[in-house]
Amino acid sequence: MDGSTTPAVRGDLPWDASYPAGLDWRTPVPERPLHSLVDEACAAFPHHPCLDFYGRRTTYRQVARLIDRAARGLQDRGVGKGCKVALLLPNCPYSVIAFHAILKAGGTVVNLNPLAPAAELAHQIDDSETELLVTLDLVPFRDKLAQIGWPGRLRAVVVARMADALPFPKNWLYPLLKRRDVARFPEDERHVPFRRLLANRGDPRPVAVEPRADAAVLQYTGGTTGVPKGTVLTHAGLYANTMQCRRWFTGADPGRERVLAVLPFFHVFGMTGVMNFALALGAELILLPRVDVREILDTVQRKRPTIFSGVPRLFQAIVGFPRLSRYDLSSLRLCVSGGDSLPPLLLERFQKLTGAYLAEGYGLTEASPVVTCNPFDGLNKPGSAGPPLPGTMVEIVSLDDRCTPQPQGRVGEICVSGPQVMAGYWKDAAATAEAMAGGHLHTGDIGFLDEDGYLHIVDRLKDLIVAGGQHVYPRAVEAVIKRHPLIADAAVVGEPDPVRGQTIRAFVVPQPGSTLSEAELRAFLADRLSRFEQPQRIEFRTALPTSTIGKILKRDLIPERPPEKPGSDDREISRPATR
What b-and-e string marks burial along 219-234, b requiring 16 or more CB atoms within 10 Å of the CB? bbbbbbbbebbbbbbb
**Domain spanning 36-209 has what CATH number?**
3.40.50.12780
Three-class SS state of 466: strand
pLDDT by residue for the chain (579 residues), tens only, comes to: 456 775 666 568 999 999 998 899 999 988 999 999 999 999 999 999 999 999 999 999 999 999 999 999 999 999 999 999 999 999 999 999 999 999 999 999 999 999 989 999 999 999 999 999 999 999 999 999 999 999 999 999 999 999 999 999 999 999 999 999 999 999 898 999 999 999 999 999 999 999 999 999 999 986 544 578 999 999 999 999 999 999 999 989 999 999 999 999 999 999 999 999 999 999 999 999 999 999 999 999 999 999 999 988 899 899 999 999 999 999 999 999 987 778 888 999 999 999 999 999 999 999 999 999 999 998 999 989 999 999 999 999 999 999 999 999 999 999 999 999 999 999 999 999 999 999 999 999 999 999 999 999 999 888 889 887 788 889 889 989 999 999 999 999 999 888 788 999 999 999 989 999 999 999 999 999 988 899 999 999 999 998 877 778 888 887 554 444 444 444 444 433 332
Q: Is the CB of residue 334 less than 8 Å from the CB of residue 252?
A: yes
CB within 8 Å of 136: residues ≥ 6 apart: 89, 90, 92, 94, 159, 160, 161, 162
Residue closest to 309 by CA, chosen among 344, 285, 343 = 285
CA distances for 226 relative to 222, 269, 457, 462, 556, angstroms: 9, 20, 21, 11, 10
Residue closest to 463 by CA, chosen among 556, 561, 379 = 561
Residue 504's DSSP bridge partners are 494
Q: Is the CB of residue 382 less than 8 Å from the CB of residue 575?
A: no
Residue closest to 154 by CA, chosen among 184, 122, 180 = 122
> Cα(363)–Cα(350) distance, rounded to whole angstroms?
22
> Cα(153)–Cα(173) distance, rounded to whole angstroms?
37
Domain ranges of the chain: 36-209, 471-557
Which CATH fold would you assign to the domain 471-557?
A: GMP Synthetase; Chain A, domain 3 (3.30.300)
Q: Is the CB of residue 112 less than 8 Å from the CB of residue 218?
A: no
pTM of model > 0.85:
yes
> Cα(317)–Cα(346) distance, rounded to whole angstroms?
10
> Cα(143)–Cα(131) distance, rounded to whole angstroms?
20
